[in-house]
Amino acid sequence: MYFTGFADEASPSVDDQIRVTKELGWQNIESRKVQVAGFPEGMIHDIPDEAFERVAEKLEASGVRINCFGSAIANWGKKIEDPMDSSLAEVRRSIPRMQRLGVKLVRIMSFAVRDGEDQMEQERFRRVKIINRMFTDAGLTAVHENCMNYGGMGWPFTLKLLENVPGLKLVFDTGNPVFSDDHSKPKPYPKQSAWEFYAQVREHVAYVHIKDGIWDAKNNKAIYTYPGEGRGDVRRIIKDLIRRGYDGGISIEPHLGRVFHDDSSGQSLNAEQIYIEYGRRMMAMVESIRVELK
């Protein structure tokens, strides 16, 4: 098992991302947005070639590596009704960059949830199958996240996706179920159970994202917390993973300082300190679980 995280939640600057990673004693970053001097910040698969090369050089000089592309491929911002050109372009840009950096994992999704009952499932399966095959053919592994997409509507939807996209692996996010409606249950949809979702899909989990929080039903909003302080069943899930011999990545995604998909959140003045504290708490939790299981 190794630790990593969405270091863009500490800072968009690659230099800052490297620094906070080293302060935690880690060697890995899950790269999403990144910025290097002279260029605006952007997704790792979207920044100009020159900017990408400068990022690669800084990483190589530091000894820190990227273990996963936290891509926007087929994510909640892309409608299944629209052409998939943008996602295919992101795949084509990601592959050579992953190969250049020696990255084996890439986070993908299964397109935005549609209003109503018709989720255009067969078209989703067709598209995700194409994306998965493109990465597999390149010797890379796509992992689907249970986020704001078809597969994140509830564990039965993820299982149906897996049945229709043979070989697809999962990245399980502990926090997303806390804030997501369970479309597998009758209306009005309740929020999902992180443990129930995980228990149903754990055989397919190849990577883990750590978020935690509480759903504030009164104000209809998410309240993010440090790991173990919310309803994401983080400790229970990590304990089960360790018992089962999991040796993949544990990637922190605090959402306490900078929230990637919420422009209104701005940048907290202590985003770096929050990221570091979050990482330290995660490491302490894992260590305490290991001691408990001895």
DSSP-derived 3-state class of residue 102: coil
Tell me, what's the pLDDT at 259? 53
DSSP-derived 3-state class of residue 199: helix
pLDDT tens column, 168-208:
999 999 999 999 999 999 999 999 999 999 999 999 999 99
CATH 3.10.129.10 fits 2-293, yes or no: no
pLDDT tens column, 226-275:
999 999 999 999 999 999 999 999 999 999 975 544 444 444 459 999 99
Given a cut of 80, is residue 284 above it in pLDDT? yes
Percent of the chain predicted with pLDDT > 70 = 96
Q: Compute the average pLDDT of residues 28-33.
A: 98
Percent of the chain predicted with pLDDT > 90 = 94
Tell me, what's the pLDDT at 258? 56
Tell me, what's the pLDDT at 10? 97
DSSP-derived 3-state class of residue 234: helix
243-to-231, 239, 289 alpha-carbon distances in Å: 21, 6, 10
Tell me, what's the pLDDT at 211? 98
DSSP-derived 3-state class of residue 16: helix
Q: Compute the average pLDDT of residues 86-92.
A: 98
Tell me, what's the pLDDT at 217? 96
Q: CA 173 to CA 76: how far, in whole Å?
A: 15
- Could you tell me where the DSSP H helices lie in the chain? 14-23, 49-62, 85-101, 121-137, 155-164, 176-179, 194-201, 234-243, 271-293
Decide if 169 contacts 142 (C-beta within 8 A).
yes
pLDDT band for position 91 (50/70/90)?
very high
Given a cut of 80, is residue 61 above it in pLDDT? yes
